[in-house]
Every structure is written in C-alpha cells, then in structure tokens.
Amino acid sequence: MNKTTIKNFESSKSEAKARAILQGAMQEFLANGYAATSMDKIAKTAGVSKATVYSHFGDKESLFNAVMQDLVKDKFQKVMGLQEPQSLAQDPKIVLSAMATRMLENAKSDRAFHDFIRIIIGESGRFPELAKAYVNNLAKPAIKTLTKYFESHPKLNLDDPEATVRVMIGSLVYFVMLQEMLHGKDILPLPDERLVNTLTELITQN
C-alpha cells in the first residue's frame, strides 16, 4: 500500500467506527434515556473501546449533540425544500403548504424522533444541554432558514417575519406532540389538511 491508500483506509475505518458509535449511542439513549446511558454501555453496543468513543466524540454531551445532528441532517433540507431562487419564483401558498405537509408527515412517521423529544422534555430539567442540543441542531436552523424565505419572497409582506415563522413552526410542533405523542388524535382528531390550510391562509392573506 502507498501512503495515500493507507490514509484512505484509515479514514474509512475511522468513519466506520464513528458510524457504529452514533448508532450504538442512539440505541442506548432511546432504550435508557440520557442519565442512565454511560459511555461504557455505548462502547459495548457499538463494539468499540471506551477510549475510541472518547477519542471520536469527547464526552456524553457532545455525543448526544452528534446523535441529534445525525438524526436531523438528512431530513432538514428535504423537509424545508427551500432552494433559492426556485422557491422565490413559486406561489408562497403552494411552497408553505407543501413544506408544512412534509414536516407533519415526516414528524408523525419518525418514532425515533418522538422518543428523542420525550428524552429531551423529560430530562432537560436536570440536563439543560439536551434542550440546547435540540434548539441548536433543529429549531434554530429551521427558524433561520424559514425567516430568510419570508423576508425575501416578493409576494409576502409580513410585519415580523421571524415571529410569523415561530407561530407557524410552533403550531406544527404542538400539533404533532398533541396528536401523536399525547394521543390527542384519538380524543381531539383533526385532519392535517385543516391545520396546514389555515396556517398558509393566515400567512399569505396579505
């Protein structure tokens, strides 16, 4: 093997170990929660040494952040679907309706994400870093991306784009939590389309 081949091989092995650690960490966090999950358990589940876990991710908080990033990274752009300048040329009612529908469908079908939200809500009192991981890795990027879209679209004339974004995202998140996580769909059923249509009408009616 030449030096380049050796370097690529070692990089591939390192990436494989990092992937195994992330998968092992997700399994342990979902099964046991944050407080009861140790780096020892994660290392055992991942099939690597504890030293390897620490060398890749540093500590449990950093590893939880990495798991959260991994959980949302492949879905974020797919769900938001705001590719400029194409999105700015489209009717905002159509863009927002499609985006809100994707957000609901994705959130409702992802059981692992539901369980992670439960962990964050249940343990963030003792471990505020969990809530910060959610805000930094999901809420903040979504709010910034959608605010930029609201500010830039020539057909939208909003007095406070960021506040409007928070109303929209907050309504969607609460809807998913109430209907899916708190079993509200059996007690207070409401079709997704009614919520999506009402939100898009309120935002685009100006």
Q: What is the CATH number of the domain that holds 177?
A: 1.10.357.10
- Both 14 and 63 in one domain: the answer is no
- Both 67 and 29 in one domain: the answer is no
Q: pTM score, two decimals? A: 0.79
- Both 184 and 114 in one domain: the answer is yes
pLDDT (tens, 9 = 90+) of the chain, 206 residues, equals 544 443 443 455 678 889 999 999 999 998 999 999 999 999 999 999 999 999 999 999 999 989 888 877 766 666 766 665 567 788 999 999 998 998 898 888 888 878 888 898 889 899 998 888 888 888 898 899 899 999 999 899 899 999 999 999 999 999 999 998 889 999 999 999 999 999 999 999 86
- Residue 99 to residue 44: CA distance in whole angstroms: 40
- Both 121 and 65 in one domain: the answer is yes
Residue keyed to tokens 């091989």: 9
Single out the residue in 29, 58, 87 at which a domain terminates: 58
Single out the residue in 14, 34, 58 at which a domain terminates: 58
What is the domain extent for residue 82? 59-204
Greatest Cα pair distance, the chain, in angstroms, is 66
User: What is the number of domains present in the chain?
Assistant: 2
**Neighbour count for residue 11 (Cβ, 10 Å):** 10
Token digits of residue 96 = 């927002």
Q: If we measure between CA atoms, which residue out of 82, 94, 93 comes closest to residue 201?
A: 93
- Both 17 and 71 in one domain: the answer is no
- Both 95 and 152 in one domain: the answer is yes
